[in-house]
Structure 1
Amino acid sequence: MYRLLIVDDEELITDGLYDVFSRLMPEQLDVYKAYSGKEALDWMARTRIDIILTDISMPGLSGLELIERVQALWPHCRVIFLTGYDYFDYVYQAIQMNDVKYLLKTEGYDKVVETVKEIIIELKESSLKNQLPELTDQEKHAYQLMAQSDFMRHVIQKSSVNENDLENLTNEFRNLNIPLKTTEHVYLVIGNLTYPKNKTYTERTDISNYVRTYWDQQFFGQVKSVCIVDRFGDLVWFIQTIEDKPFTPQHLLDFLEGNLEMIQDDCLQLLDLTIQFTISHGPVDWESVARKYEYLRQLQQLKLDTQYPSIIKEQPHQAETLESINPIPKMDLLTAHLSANRKEEFFEEFYELVQSVKKESYQQMTKTYYSVALVLYIDISQNQLQTRIEEMEKILKIDEHASLKSSFNYLERVAHQLFSLKKADGQDRASKVIERICHYIENHLDEDLSLVRLAEIHYFNPSYLSHFFKQEQGVNVSEYIDRCRIRMARELLSKSDLKVREVSEKVGYHTAHSFTRFFKKMTGMTPKEYRDSLSKLV
């Protein structure tokens, strides 16, 4: 989903364009509006904007000044200047900027709509789909990338890095052409890829390479980064700022999050690939990289949901007190798959493990039983399912089973029950989340109900919230908000003496003319005509 921001100090124009675009393509375009350059910058600080439609001449911060700030924040944002001024100086300055189109207000809504649609097509064509054929160009770097990956995996597996190690690290970075500095702190991002079913190892590798290449092209010239595949198959990025890009820590995090969201959307649409990203809250020194990586990986395992894209962010002052989830290293994969609800992958590893211990000693088989039982027990406890698992009392008592074979069969049954219960509970939680969002909308109609705001409050990816809401409710968020607003407007007009202007404010329209246009579109009458029609019935 792309985001369009409309900026004009003339409310009639802003509201009119907003009404046109908010209903134009609700599943592809998320629309926002601002009445000044300053208000537009506030939106830019909150979320990624893909297209900005703005007047050039505005009091305070002009359109030209605004775009200079916008392109510093979101360099991929496309710009449409809409103005009543056709003076040469304005046109000349506008066409000097990259990815800028220029329209006169006299050209009408149809021309503006056509231009926005053209830009959306251009954005789609420049996305991942057209970049895929170029991936083979990366093969010439294969050996160097392999060496870099092996070394960076070694870095995150070390328990600590001392002063001598740091000197060796500097030398290795130079020898391997790793574009990072050991004298600067580094940000970490972990990407978990949930591939489409029935993909071969080669196909999965190609998809992973596509993601890495897309990342490089998306962030080219903005940050320095190195990507590796860790021992769990996740992608791990090490990120540093570029000297001529003075990102503040918060702006860099916002910039990363906005672009990661775009990568998620494109990969889901073009490759049927779900990606979960986990981001460190701030930069860490190289001595702490291994500990930070392990912490983020555990945070990911606890919160991962492979059904939908999400961005898991480490909280600013969150104490790193998570205990090791896996008491035995071989249980890492089982724990990760169980936590992420990856049923097929879990049982694939489980059956392989059971087969491998059949030839082992009784003591080793017993140890394996208790290791798997502990993984299941922890997950059951975390999800508070103890009373819903059949024969739960046996899970940590191997002597309760007739044989070792029956004990592992029991663990298999428990695992199947656990996955089924978590799936059912997840669907129930999803319904409750949507109920909460609907309740919030109904009680805050006079406030900001943009996708970005709803996503902030309910901890969603804005694009996913739009998809998820329609999946659960059968209508888009904007349609639901309109229904709530028209329902309340009718009620207030019929049961109160409030003026039309006061009713409009209570349902979220801060100008009476915008409310009148909305009301007539929804009912076929103006608010006054509607109120008059009710009085005739009395």
Structure 2
Amino acid sequence: MKLLIVDDEPIEREGMRRILSDAFAELTIFDARNGYQAIEIAEIERPDIVLMDIMMPGINGIETLQQIQAIHPTVRGVMVTAFDTFDYARQALRLGVKEYLLKPSKRSEIIATVEAVIEQCKMEAKKLRTDQQAERLLETELVTQLLFHHVHDVQLDALMESVGIVARPAFVVVIYFPEPTEALYRQVKERVRESENAFVGALYGKQLPIIVFRREGVSYRSQAMPFVQNMIAHLRDQVGIFVGVGEEVKELAQVAVSYQQAVFALASHSQSVRFRFYEETSTQIQPLGTTNIRHKEQQFFEALDQGDWHQIEQILNEFIDQQEQHGQPLIYSQQRVLELFWIIQRALEHLGMSSQPAYLSFQSSNYRQLRAEVQGILSQVATYYTSHLGTAESNKVQIVKRYIEEHSHEELSLDRLAELVDFTPMYLSKLFKDKLGVNYIDYLTECRIQHAKQLLKDPDKSLKEISFEVGYHEPNYFSKVFKKMCGQSPSEYRKQLPIR
């Protein structure tokens, strides 16, 4: 973190620097003797915090801070002045200044003020990182939803609004990486953000889908061709990179069509060219309809709910057979199978399981090899399902157990606890007893009594106060429960405690 001290008095600057250097070893400190020099330093170093003397010759602190904020809007200012006047305070507030120091200031006041501003900067930086991460996740999720036909019109409007996108025509580019890496993925994302208004999806196996929004006043080809050529030039060191480009669609809800076209264009992958537009492909096979995709999703959900992996395997094999019979290019069929695995992933998450996504290698050279690879992946997912089903339930019971321990003083109904882990009350009651060997109400009572024992050590607390504090509204009832659990009344228990 960087801090700039601005003061026309050398002694003030040196004293402030010495105090802050001793107190904050991690702080990089610069100083300026006037407003003009401060603006020059701010333009180069971009400080996070500026300690600004208001009364300086030439250009005063308020005007200086205004110009620095024009260069670096997130900078935080701390005004330093010998004059505690309302006019200066009002101008400083308009610049977002929430801290000020009066000359002369004590060492402790200077340190406390700067420490508070540093914490504010850290909190804002953390929030910014969190917001950016959430935005990236939302963008990836939106691309997945659009490309795999899993978004309704209402959901689409809400998702687009949340990421600030207005409905407009778009086309899809799919990049094939022979050896994808996380570093390569980040490199492409940064390049795309620099050149186009676009959404970058997740890396599915060896393919990276990108939804590119159309620019006004430029034809589809005039926009798509330079984008693809620039991307190929940027990735020229990557051997085997190939790009497929789908046609323009007028509505974002139809972008899955452009995506499938881009995957078809990948099917014409050759060593002689590095990219292909869909309309240039010699194989003009139309994709199979996707109207039954939601029906298949429901089939997966029902089969997973029953743990019927034989049924899931049958659904996948029937789908692959259908693709082969219709003469679909293998790479297109691989992509569609990947979509079905993504549906299985969603179904697992619906059941409370968060497994690693299943990805195809995209290295199969025929349908026989594709069936073998799908069988292997399906076997791994089924093993995960079987081994984690009991674990998932145990984890949820532990969540309920910890919640009871932390909230035993509150009114805890079985309905409230069941909502916490998305179980039915009856199922939670049975599961709690099966996993922990005790009813939930008995465990709640045990937690309350253990808490009461700790409070009874304080002679200043009355039994009535303790009963309320541990969750009982009737002191007499609390005494009865305590005696039943401990074999003696709260008063008798207290008497035998060592005198504090």
What is the TM-score with the length of structure 2 in the denominator? Answer: 0.36
Greater RCO, 1 or 2 (C-alpha within 8 Å, sep 6+): 1
Q: Give the structure with higher Rg (CA).
A: 2
Q: TM-score, normalised by structure 1?
A: 0.33
